[in-house]
Amino acid sequence: MKSKSEPETTKQSRRKFLASLVRTAIGAGLAITGGYLLLREEPATLCPIDFACSRCDKLRQCILPEATAFRIRELQQRTNTKSR
């Protein structure tokens, strides 16, 4: 008979061990994904000068569709004036 002063050691079955391992991995994955989604930097999608691309100093780096269209128009105008 075991004495009361000895700590009880509980053996864990392989199935319980794997289940807890999978549960821990899923929890860690959810925590990491949530942290990434909360802490990532999103690109600015608002135009600071009301879509006046011709006056914007960030035109070359801008990812807005309006800026892309403006750059294409400018390039086409330059090539048309050079060919004349």
Helix (H, G, I), strand (E, B) or coil at 1: coil
pTM of the model: 0.42
For the cut 60, the answer to whether the pLDDT of residue 1 exceeds it is no
Give the contacts of 71 (CB within 8 A, at least 6 positions apart): 53, 59, 60
pLDDT band at 5 (very low <50, low <70, confident <90, very high): low
The 3 state secondary structure assigned to 41-71 is CCCCCCCCCCCCHHHCCCCCCCCCHHHHHHH
Per residue in 30-60, pLDDT tens? 999 999 999 987 666 677 677 677 778 888 8
